[in-house]
Amino acid sequence: MQDKLYINGEWVTPDLGQTFPVFDPASEAQVHAAPAGSEEDINHAVSAARQAFEGSWRQTTGKDRAALLSAMADELEHRLEELARLEVLDNGKPLPEAVWDIEDTVGVFRYYAELAVGLDDQRTTEVALPDPRFRSVVRREPVGVAGHIIPWNFPLLMAAWKVAPAIAAGATMVLKPSELTPLTALELGKVADAVELPPGVLNIVTGLGKTAGAPLSQHPGVDKIAFTGSVPTGAGIMSACSRSIKNVSLELGGKSAFIIYDDADIDAAVEWILFGIFWNQGEVCSATSRLIIHEAIADRVHDRLKEEARKITIGHGMDEGVLLGPLVSVGQYEKVLNYIEHGKRSGLSLLTGGQRPEHLEKGYFLEPTIFTDVPETSSLWQEEIFGPVLCTRTFRDEREAIRLANNTPYGLAAAVMSQDPERCTRTANALRAGIVWVNCSQPTFTEAPWGGMGHSGIGRELGQWGLNNYLETKQITEYTSRKPWGWYLK
């Protein structure tokens, strides 16, 4: 595990020489002392990124950058098992899910390598004009220096969502991972070294939000901030960026609804419901945590959910067969417990779960928890819990289901399940969310846009949209006639 920052292609000791503890959430034991970057380290990293951008990196072709991205993908794939185990140690998620995450990370680098090659042919496009005396072209140019601030729920994958398209576009960057899960992000520095990524293109500064994240978002030498995390932190970053009119994209929280109509296949519905809320311990911004079930089948769905939720194996992420690991930290554990206790005190109907598993004395473990008939006014229904807690309500007709789903300040994702294609289409079109799943929940593809409406953020990641995050648009218009323009000279 790395104990230094990665700046300008070198491993350097933090300016203040400080560290912060990293814990295994399954055992609560400290497993590492990570380097704590400060404002001076951010200054150093931004300076390195600026120097790289203004130097030869800006002149590279998409083909050049694609070769580097492909080499990074190969290196990540070569180290897949090692990185997955490190992710389990850092985050707590089950090993199969961690392997899945690293495989997706490899795929993200390969995908943006393909887009980088295509950028060479698409860098300049001609615009049709009504006046034949003029010719106009539009160029897409790299945004400059990007600051990346990423969350702890998918540590390496969330880094890839930002680092890969930025490299493809020709930007340079400073990556600041979550202080809860810094280990695999630091490994990206080793990957950069292995493929000989030019110094300064990728800089990695670990540290606390106040001492590293805030200086990055406020830095005048940063052209763009891309942030994934909570709404309050995102609002603070947006405010900081507004002072210097900085380009910003935000992927924030969610309180996503899952509508189950009365003609749905109940077995299929139960499987997707469980996956939609208990995958990754419910620590997923798009988790379908509000279940809206037609009253005609609600009792049967609840019975099956209770039965199947109690079968989910909970334990250390490295243990075979485990589907639910610990929450990421003591702070997150206590936050989720507080919501559960509030629900109990409020008299909400607890269908199952709501406590630590009896066989696990240590670690931040919680049983899959389901509350039924939760009022719309309840904080459990309205607020993002970010844990394995599902809230349900019933509805009578399509109109009521859509109203319940849309009654939220968030708008990241939503899902609908029915055997009627026309009803699915009507519902999907009516839902106010950036991502809508039909007869499923949570599938995510690198090729498709990711992002939300309302309090869920600004902008889109993944696909061509992710590449566009790191490109600026420039108009170049030329007067081609040999005759004077005529305003002054006749």
251 is an active site residue: yes
* Cα dist from 314 to 119, 180, 365, whole Å: 46, 21, 8
Rounded CA gap, 150 and 98, in Å? 17
Rounded CA gap, 135 and 465, in Å? 27
DSSP secondary structure code for residue 314 in this structure: B
Helix (H, G, I), strand (E, B) or coil at 138: strand
Instruction: Indicate the burial class of 96 (C-beta count within 10 angstroms; 0-12, 13-18, 19 or more).
Output: middle
Which stretch of DSSP H or E encloses residue 417?
strand 413-417
Do the Cβ atoms of 63 and 117 come closer than 8 Å? yes
- Catalytic site residue from 39, 97, 251, 461: 251
DSSP secondary structure code for residue 476 in this structure: E
Do the Cβ atoms of 256 and 433 come closer than 8 Å? yes
**Residue 259, phi then psi, degrees to nearest 5:** -95, 125
Do the Cβ atoms of 179 and 209 come closer than 8 Å? yes
Strand ranges, E, within 59-188: 124-127, 134-142, 145-149, 172-176
Using DSSP bridges, classify how beta strands 471-479 and 410-411 pair: parallel, antiparallel or unpaired.
unpaired
Which stretch of DSSP H or E encloses residue 464?
helix 463-468
Closest CA to 233 of 151, 312, 305: 151
Helix (H, G, I), strand (E, B) or coil at 296: coil
Rounded CA gap, 151 and 19, in Å? 19
Rounded CA gap, 398 and 404, in Å? 10
Provide the annotated active-site residues.
251
